[in-house]
Structures are given as structure tokens and as C-alpha cells.
A and B are shown apart, each in its own frame.
Chain A
């Protein structure tokens, strides 16, 4: 057996290696339990990041080309926003705190609310114990009622750009319908 490519396992998982290098490291790890275990741990971490991250930068790896075109700039701004916690600031201004543990374990479902006057999504715990609404294209600064199964559970107000988010806890139970109702708009999901 050749030497363990220990130093290259993380590089492989992070996508730094070119095809030939990656192939050689993988060939070794495929028949070496020690390296396979370490590589698998790193791969699961990168997969978790890749599955959860909305945007990322292109690792420069061994390429000399580092100038960024607009496409990658968009990615870097999104990554920067993520790292600076901008999203969280937005959540806090609407007093929404996301139940991170539930989200991390993907115990949620989401439905589009359709209709007139904007777009919205309802994200709910599978057991119905919390709902989270995120909306865009609303009338700036206008207030909207949030209805679940025909009952008003709260309200939210669009910001200057017509976006709004809100989070509410409720008694667990199946959610059959939801709506976001404004003065002259109605967005709803009716359970299908």
C-alpha cells in the first residue's frame, strides 16, 4: 500500500484538487479504511455546507485567474451578506427568530401563497407548531394580516422595499390553509 495521502483528504473534499489528483486520492481512500473514514467526515461536512449555503465563491485552487466577473461578484456579495449575518438583522427587525434546530434537521415544509399583490412563502414545522412567512413584492410599509385556517394569528408590515418576514408559534396541529391578506391584495395557499 502506498503512503496515506492524509494531507490531501481535506483538499479533495473542499474541491481544491484537479481531476487526476482527486482520482488518485480517491483510489487510495477507497481501499484504505483509515483514509476513507477521514475523507468521509470531511465530505459530509462539505456536503452539509453545499446543501445549506445559498451562494459560494469559486475556490481559486491552482488557477492563476483571480479576476472576478459579475457572476462571481454576485456570489461573493451573497456570501459576505451571509457571513455578516445581514439576513439575521432582517429577521430581528421583524422580530422573527428562526427555530434553528428544527430547520437544521429539515423538519419543515413550505408552500407558495399565490394570488395578487406580491409573492409569499409559508414555511411551517411539520407538526404545525410554528409558521414562518416571507413575502416580497408587497406594498411598501403596508400592514398585512396572517391567517392560518381562517384565523388571524398575527400581522406583519412590509419594509421600504416591499419585503416582509414574520414568525409565529402556535399550538401543534395540521395546517390546511394559510393566507396573507392586505387592503387590496390576497395571497393564499389552500392545502394542495
Chain B
């Protein structure tokens, strides 16, 4: 979606136009579902996360953040956040139940091929970050640590870690932005 189409959609959302939400769903639901699946690996939970993100988009439709971030990035992040929260809850539950895990679906190798290409681009973008910013992204995004845990592990003040996270994310947004729109 182009920036101007995005802005137009946001204006219509802000004007309470329900058809704009349908359009956003058609444009972004697929990507949101993929992101949710990577986070929860469960079709029903992933679908719940996507639905909640779109409801949330409607709730925040006239806020400044959607406008500043763009609908796609906003939806991806909110979907991922909802999915992470669902995953935390379901992991606590499954840790208690210690249930038998269902067999993993075999990934389609051709899908993996494209994912790997994107991963190569991603790895390259991460490698180009300054050392201390790369460390924060590795620990916080890929390593699953909170920013407070990153601060403890690296011996840096929390404020510094947050600043590095912000700089790194802004930079990744610029280098990888085309893929994320």
C-alpha cells in the first residue's frame, strides 16, 4: 500500500467509515496472520490475535499513533503484542497441564525459501547496526529478554538501553521499511 493510499484509509477510518476497516482487513490481515502464527504457532489463537488487532485499530482510529506509524506497521505490532500476551497465557496453562504437544505442521519449503530470502535481508540490516544497538536487538527481539533484562546483562543503564533500542528500531524501519509497508 502506498503512503497516500494509507493516509486516505486513515482519514476514512477517522471519519468512522466502516468500509475502510474492511479494506484495511483485506490489505493487511494476511500479513498480520503470518506474524501471529510465528508468535503463537496456533491457528485459532493467531486468528484471535488478528481479530483483536483490527478491533483495536477501530478503537484507536482517530489517534495520532496510527497516523504516524502507518496502518500496516501499527497492525503488525498490535497483532504481535496481542499474540505474545495470548502465548504467555497459554504457555502458563500448558505448563500446568503438561499436555501432549500436537505434531508440528511441516512448513512448505517454497514458503521457507522466501522467508529465508527475507531473513537474509534482515540479517544484513542487523549486521549494519552499530555494535551496541545490534546487541540490544539481538537480546530484546530475538533473545526474548525485556529491556530491563538487557540492561542488567549488559551492565548499561536502562535509559541507555531504551535509547539504543529506539535508535536501532528507527534505523531498521528505514532500511527494511519497504518490506514492511
A143 within 8 A of B: no
A44 within 8 A of B: yes
Cβ contact within 8 Å between A87 and B120? yes
B155 within 8 A of A: no
Q: What is the interface of chain B mostly: helix, strand, loop, or mixed? A: helix
Give Cα distance in the complex from A104 to B82, angstroms.
Answer: 27
B27 within 8 A of A: no
CB < 8 Å A-B pair total? 259
Cβ contact within 8 Å between B119 and A65? no
Cβ contact within 8 Å between B73 and A47? yes
Kindly identify which residue among B31, B145, B165, B175 contacts A51, using a CB–CB cutoff of 8 Å: B31
Cβ contact within 8 Å between A112 and B110? yes
Chain B neighbourhood of A50, CB < 8 A: 35, 38, 76-77, 80
B124 within 8 A of A: yes
Cβ contact within 8 Å between A42 and B91? no
B64 within 8 A of A: yes
Q: Which residues of A from 118 to 145 have beta carbons under 8 Å from B?
A: 119-121, 123, 132, 134, 136-137
Interface residues on A, range: 35 or more
Query: B82's closest neighbor in chain A, by CB?
Result: A19
B-to-A contact residues, CB < 8 Å: 31, 35, 38-39, 41, 60, 62-65, 67-70, 72-74, 76-77, 80-82, 84-85, 87-88, 91-92, 94-95, 101, 104, 109-110, 112-126, 137-138, 140-147, 149, 158-159, 162, 165-166, 168-173, 175-180
A-to-B contact residues, CB < 8 Å: 6-7, 9-19, 22, 26, 29-33, 36-63, 65, 67, 69-71, 74-75, 79, 82-83, 85, 87-88, 91, 98, 100, 103-106, 108, 110, 112, 119-121, 123, 132, 134, 136-137
